[in-house]
Homo-oligomer: A and B are copies of this chain.
Amino acid sequence: MDFSYSEKVINMQKKLTDFMEEHVYPNEKVYDEQLNQQESRWTAVPPIMETLKQKAKTQGLWNLFLPESEYGGGLTNQEYAPLCEIMGRSMIGPEVFNCNAPDTGNMEVLHRYGTKDQKQKWLLPLLNGEIRSCFSMTEPDVASSDATNIESSVVRDGDEYVINGRKWWSSGAGDPRCEIAIVMGKSDPEAARHEQQSMILVPLDSPGVKVERMLPVFGYDHAPHGHAEITYDNVRVPAENMIWGEGKGFAIAQGRLGPGRIHHCMRLIGAAERALEDLCKRVQNRVAFGKKLADQGVVQEWIAESRIDIEQARLLTLKAAYMMDTVGNKEAKTEIAMIKVVAPNMALRVIDRAIQAFGGAGVSDDVTLAAHWANARTLRLADGPDEVHRRQIAKLELRKHS
């Protein structure tokens, strides 16, 4: 459980940091402006993104997320953690390096469970950053935090499957390059509780797929990526689009959500670090009531608590990553659940303190705090709300003493 960063990792940290400073941070506003100058915010991806992607690819800062794969950067989860953290400092960062959700999770699924054909058709273009994907699991009509509640249907009919249901929070579906959805639904309501669900690949241009609307997050539309409500109305896809096999939906979810969850946590640590840096710089340049904000005890407590919060969350993230690398995603479930509770709440606290230090600027888009805050807030819900993870942690703890 060695948490030192190897020379390889240190070099990549430096390279990534340089890239962020040279290319990403200065283009955050450019991205926004290009988006706003479009006819609609949903028409296209701002061209600066493609420019940045090409630069990142050229520098080998591409697909670093996939462990144990010929496709990825040959990094373990633990090695990826400090790098993913750096990408997460910018809302536009992860995509630049082809390491953004939900595509990374979807690529993991295809890499682990996809057929050769599925990989050829969907994984390779995703890895190349040519197309985008979405993940259709959550449903508006049921408490999806309990995945057994999911009601969409995936029914075999000859050589095809027929999909029906209403999904929402299918993030990324707004992207004009988004071509494929992984949809979770019930293939056999009579099967054992954790074998009722399947995951299947549904091209977004299939007849019957309809993006009903894009959902905002605290006023942010997150265009052009976005969060879609989608109806699947008698959508037919070839039987070979089934992933792994009927009834494997839960098993895939378990494998998929682990990495996805921890990637979110790594990024949140980066967002928190950036917030703390911004705070530290800000308070040294502002005076109120006769002294610098940086000299005020209350502000110093914010800084200390933030450093402590971040430090602890990072160590726990590294431990969870280490566990995933050594005993596997399934055995690492307590650690993943713990960090999934810790990281969003930590980030919310740290960013909120920075907002308070920035005053009005903090809630605006002059700094990235409010945007990161809103994103972090969704992560107390996405991939399982805090309460579900705490419940699981408790059950595993109780089991030790029963």
Interface residues on A, range: 35 or more
Residues in B with CB closer than 8 Å to A371 are 218-219
Within A377-393, which residues are at the interface with B (CB < 8 Å)?
377-378, 380-382, 385-391, 393
Known: A146-B289, A307-B397, A342-B312. A297 touches B361 (CB 8 A): no
CB of A251 within 8 Å of the partner chain: no
Cβ B301 vs Cβ A390 within 8 A: yes
B311–A218 contact, CB under 8 A?
A: no
Q: A138 to chain B: which residues have CB within 8 Å?
A: 359-360
A276 within 8 A of B: yes
For A391, the chain B residues whose CB sits under 8 A away are: 289, 297, 300, 304
Select from chain B the residue with minimum beta-carbon distance to A374: B218
What 1/0 mask marks residues of chain A from 276 to 292 whose CB sits below 8 Å from any chain B CB? 11001101101111000
Contact of A378 with B393 in the complex, beta carbons under 8 Å: no
A240 at the A/B interface (Cβ < 8 Å)? no
Residue in contact with A393 in the complex, picked from B221, B303, B361, CB distance below 8 Å = B303
CA distance A380 to B366 in the complex (A): 18
A215→B360 contact, CB < 8 A: yes
Cα(A260)–Cα(B371), bound, Å? 28
Q: From residue 334 to 368 of chain A, which have CB atoms closer than 8 A to chain B? A: 334, 338, 341-342, 355-356, 359-366
| Pair B377/A355 contact, Cβ less than 8 Å | yes
Question: Which residues in B have their C-beta under 8 angstroms from that of A4?
Answer: 1-2
A161 interfacial by beta-carbon distance below 8 Å? no
CA distance A305 to B169 in the complex (A): 28
Interface string of A1-43 (1 = CB under 8 A from B): 1111000000000000000000000000000000000000000
Residues in B with CB closer than 8 Å to A311 are 316, 319, 338
Known: A145-B288, A218-B374, A356-B385. 20 other contacts (CB 8 A): A142-B286, A143-B288, A216-B370, A218-B220, A218-B370, A219-B220, A219-B370, A227-B364, A280-B401, A281-B401, A284-B402, A298-B387, A301-B390, A303-B394, A304-B393, A305-B390, A308-B393, A311-B319, A359-B381, A360-B382
14 pairs across A/B with beta carbons < 8 Å?
A3-B319, A143-B287, A169-B360, A215-B360, A276-B397, A280-B398, A280-B400, A297-B298, A298-B301, A301-B387, A304-B391, A307-B397, A356-B380, A363-B374
